[in-house]
């Protein structure tokens, strides 16, 4: 394992070197290429390192000598860690190449040195979080990841909305960290150590109440980072505010660290076992996953900000991942190993698929924003002729995330649906009915997701330009196209050849040291050894290609010559069709707002401008449809108001008078003495 250690060490040093080099750099095109070269090479080394761990089936472990025994700096990269490091490596490689061209946007506005520094530290912190084998250092690197991403969210701090988004993110991420710490603290109380190895070996002996609390605290803490409803409020604010290359990393990779934390805690640190006592864990994940999926996609379909729409879509896809993970826990609880395996493969396949197509889509959105200088798709349109490569690559991502064959999103969503349909094997009628209801929002989510990305692609790239923002623009740089092309190729490859994904997951999650683990001998087979939930994507590709060629041949060969006639289109007397007569994003999503009006609570805001003082002689009228965020208004607003009211009262204790402070100290001392006296009597 010496070679593995060398690769891992070299990758870490390159990220550090890239961060230092970024601080020393200046704003030139050559400097941009040089400063983003270290993270590019480091990401390649991470891919090689994690692939070697997965293929070999061995774990890489390192304990730093000379540290305190209480807080040992331990590194452990097993199959699970390697799987998530592989995701980090692939996406970071593509985004690093993309950033060479994208960072040019910030040369004029501000120095890119801080961006490069934070970019490298952000990726490094994610790698170290996944590789940590000690609760103390896990939290240290977790906090580093949170702080660097916070500074990246407010990087463009001239805009007040970015500062507000950053503060919301900072509060929510520290709320999650508090619950994660509580979960680890319970493990420490039971084992007397912060080492994850002690949690693994001792968790089976935890009392059932402690096991449940460890799970619940981890579920809330890691669910906050993952963007799970109702703890998702930071995500649609933070992701659009950050630079687009950072948005790609946050959405494609960082929120998966929350999924990693859940998996590691549930299957390694909580004492989870094949017992019906733990079935409610899985149902909790399924319920919140279903809610996240439907809420995320409903807000995405009506959103006009292209980056906010993609952020809401990330909430939806996290929900799909949680549904698969929850099903795996339920099946394992009733010792239905084959179905647990299928659900786990579905969940992890969607995790890696989402990393690919969401990274691609955020980079595509960043390309559009960098040349048009607007995120509002109401002001776009017609970009396909001016940005053909970006349009094609964004289309691949849109088809992938919509779950259409032969791209990768279809595979994981198909596996998830197969897992839901297999719930009739569970020996509990209540759970069967509950999971059957959960399949309804899943099916609805897939349909609305397709509508969402039809709107995003069509309103951004097709038809005519609807404002000056989309006129006289050029295609983005080659490095940006190359970065997007890497993830687009991954979307195609993992869709056409799904064996790559299933074999990768089955090998990565094979834990030979834990025979009772649901990760053993992963294969999409039932208990009798017969395969189920099979799908041959090469055959699907051949069928789709054959039908397409047949239709083209029929039209061109058998249809004969066609005659083209040019004439004026009837336009109701307007004297020529123009962009004002097109469907807009708002009008296209209007049926969704009407059907789900109880959820959106839409209302119109009207602004009128008159000629003089006569209100009947209108110069212009502007009508804007506004929807409400029910979570912020009904859930978070009362909580925030209560806290403000409470601390406003507490603030009155700070009188500024020394006599009052001495009185507070005296009261505290008296109470402590009474507590000690009572404790001694007991």
pLDDT digits (tens, 9 = 90+) for 107-116: 766 667 888 9
User: Within this chain, do residues 480 and 445 fall inside the same structural domain, yes or no?
Assistant: yes
User: Within this chain, do residues 512 and 657 fall inside the same structural domain, yes or no?
Assistant: no
Q: Is residue 265 part of a domain?
A: no
- Please report, rounded to a whole number, the percentage of residues in the chain having pLDDT higher than 70: 91
- pTM for this one? 0.89
Q: Which tens digits make up the pLDDT trace of 133-183?
A: 999 999 999 999 999 999 999 988 777 888 888 898 999 999 999 999 999
Q: Is beta strand 74-77 parallel, antiparallel or unpaired with respect to 60-63?
A: antiparallel
Q: 607 by DSSP, 3-state: which?
A: strand
Highest mean pLDDT among 60-69, 590-599, 621-630: 590-599
Q: 206 by DSSP, 3-state: which?
A: coil
Q: Is residue 193 part of a domain?
A: no
Contact 94, 488 (CB under 8 A): no
Structural domain span for residue 627:
601-651
Structure tokens at 273: 């076992």
Q: What is the pLDDT of residue 525?
A: 53
* Rounded distance between C-alpha atoms, residue 500 and residue 412, angstroms: 13
Q: Which of 592, 611, 629 is the last residue of a domain?
A: 592
pLDDT at 624 over 90: no
Average pLDDT over the chain reads 85
Q: Is residue 221 part of a domain?
A: no
User: Within this chain, do residues 509 and 637 fall inside the same structural domain, yes or no?
Assistant: no
Q: 308 by DSSP, 3-state: which?
A: helix
User: Within this chain, do residues 394 and 463 fall inside the same structural domain, yes or no?
Assistant: yes
Rounded to the nearest 10 degrees, the angle between the axes of helix 337-372 and helix 255-264 is 160
Q: What is the pLDDT of residue 13?
A: 94
User: Within this chain, do residues 614 and 679 fall inside the same structural domain, yes or no?
Assistant: no
- Under the banding of pLDDT at 50, 70 and 90, the label for residue 123 is very high
pLDDT at 511 over 60: no
* Cα separations in angstroms, 574 against 34, 381, 570, 578, 579: 55, 21, 9, 9, 12
For the residues 230-255, what does the mean pLDDT come to?
Answer: 91
User: Within this chain, do residues 356 and 483 fall inside the same structural domain, yes or no?
Assistant: yes
User: Within this chain, do residues 394 and 383 fall inside the same structural domain, yes or no?
Assistant: yes
User: Within this chain, do residues 484 and 623 fall inside the same structural domain, yes or no?
Assistant: no
Based on the structure, what is the number of domains in the chain? 3
Q: What is the pLDDT of residue 522?
A: 38
Torsion angle in degrees (nearest 10) through CA of 241, 445, 506, 360? -40
User: Within this chain, do residues 510 and 477 fall inside the same structural domain, yes or no?
Assistant: yes
Q: Is residue 244 part of a domain?
A: no
Q: What is the pLDDT of residue 205?
A: 86
User: Within this chain, do residues 629 and 668 fall inside the same structural domain, yes or no?
Assistant: no
Q: Is residue 618 part of a domain?
A: yes
- Under the banding of pLDDT at 50, 70 and 90, the label for residue 60 is confident
Q: Is residue 315 part of a domain?
A: no
Q: Is residue 179 part of a domain?
A: no
Q: Is residue 159 part of a domain?
A: no
Name the residue with tokens 């509580």: 182
User: Within this chain, do residues 490 and 613 fall inside the same structural domain, yes or no?
Assistant: no
Q: What is the pLDDT of residue 560?
A: 63
User: Within this chain, do residues 397 and 468 fall inside the same structural domain, yes or no?
Assistant: yes
Region of poorest pLDDT, from 129-138, 237-246, 410-419, 535-544: 535-544
- Under the banding of pLDDT at 50, 70 and 90, the label for residue 106 is confident
């Amino acid at each position: 394992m010496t070679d593995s250690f060398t690769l891992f060490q070299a990758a870490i040093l390159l990220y550090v070197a890239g961060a230092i080099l970024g601080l020393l750099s200046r704003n030139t095109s050559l400097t941009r290429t040089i400063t983003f070269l270290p993270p590019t090479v480091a990401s390649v080394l991470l891919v090689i390192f994690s692939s070697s761990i997965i293929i070999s089936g061995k774990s890489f472990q390192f304990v730093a000598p000379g540290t305190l025994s209480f807080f040992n700096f331990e590194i452990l990269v097993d199959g699970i860690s390697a799987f998530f490091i592989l995701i980090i490596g692939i996406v970071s490689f593509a985004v690093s190449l993309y950033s060479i061209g994208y960072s040019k946007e910030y040369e004029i506005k501000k120095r890119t040195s801080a961006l490069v520094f934070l970019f490298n530290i952000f990726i490094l912190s994610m790698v170290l979080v996944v590789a940590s084998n000690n609760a103390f250092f896990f939290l240290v690197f977790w906090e580093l990841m949170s702080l660097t991403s916070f500074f990246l969210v407010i990087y463009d701090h001239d805009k007040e909305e970015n500062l507000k988004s950053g503060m919301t993110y900072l509060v929510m991420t520290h709320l999650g960290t508090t619950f994660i710490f509580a979960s680890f603290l319970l493990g420490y109380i039971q084992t007397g150590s912060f080492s994850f190895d002690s949690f693994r070996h001792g968790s089976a002996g935890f009392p059932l109440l402690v096991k449940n609390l460890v799970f619940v605290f981890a579920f809330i803490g890691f669910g906050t980072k993952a963007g799970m409803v109702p703890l998702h409020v930071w995500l649609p604010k933070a992701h659009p505010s950050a630079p687009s290359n950072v948005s790609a990393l946050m959405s494609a990779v960082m929120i998966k660290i929350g999924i990693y934390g859940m998996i590691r805690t549930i299957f390694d640190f909580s004492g989870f076992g094949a017992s019906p006592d733990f079935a409610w864990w899985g149902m909790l994940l399924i319920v919140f996953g279903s809610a996240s999926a439907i809420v995320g996609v409903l807000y995405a379909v009506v959103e006009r900000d292209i980056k906010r729409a993609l952020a809401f879509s990330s909430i939806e896809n996290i929900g799909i991942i949680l549904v698969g993970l929850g099903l795996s826990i339920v099946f394992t609880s009733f010792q239905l190993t084959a179905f647990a395996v299928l659900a786990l493969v579905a969940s992890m396949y969607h995790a890696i698929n989402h990393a690919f197509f969401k990274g691609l889509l955020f980079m595509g959105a960043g390309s559009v924003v960098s040349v048009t200088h607007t995120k509002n798709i109401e002001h776009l349109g017609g970009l396909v002729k001016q940005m053909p490569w970006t349009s094609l690559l964004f289309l691949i991502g849109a088809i992938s995330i919509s779950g259409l064959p032969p791209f990768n999103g279809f595979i994981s969503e198909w596996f998830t649906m197969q897992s839901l349909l297999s719930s009739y094997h569970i020996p509990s009628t209540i759970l069967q009915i509950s999971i059957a209801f959960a399949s309804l929002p899943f099916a609805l989510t897939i349909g609305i997701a397709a509508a969402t990305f039809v709107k995003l692609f069509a309103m951004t790239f097709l038809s005519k330009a609807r404002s000056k923002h989309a006129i006289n623009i050029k295609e983005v740089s080659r490095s940006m196209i190359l970065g997007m092309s890497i993830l687009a190729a991954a979307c195609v490859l993992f869709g056409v050849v799904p064996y790559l994904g299933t074999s990768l997951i089955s090998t990565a999650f094979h834990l030979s040291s834990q025979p009772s683990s649901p990760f053993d001998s992963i294969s999409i087979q039932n208990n009798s050894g017969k395969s189920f939930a099979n799908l041959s994507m090469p055959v699907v590709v051949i069928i789709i290609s054959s039908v397409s060629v047949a239709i083209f041949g029929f039209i061109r060969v058998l249809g004969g010559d066609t005659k083209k006639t040019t004439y004026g289109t009837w336009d109701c007397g307007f004297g020529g069709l123009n962009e004002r007569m097109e469907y807009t994003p708002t009008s296209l999503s209007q049926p969704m707002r009407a059907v789900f009006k109880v959820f959106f609570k839409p209302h119109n805001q009207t602004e009128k401008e008159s000629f003089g003082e006569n209100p009947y002689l209108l110069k212009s009228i502007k009508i804007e449809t506004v929807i409400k965020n029910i979570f912020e208004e009904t859930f978070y607003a009362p909580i925030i108001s209560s806290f403000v009211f409470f601390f406003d009262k507490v603030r009155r204790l700070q009188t500024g008078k020394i006599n009052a402070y001495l009185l507070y100290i005296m009261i505290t001392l008296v109470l402590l003495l009474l507590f000690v006296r009572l404790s001694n009597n007991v």
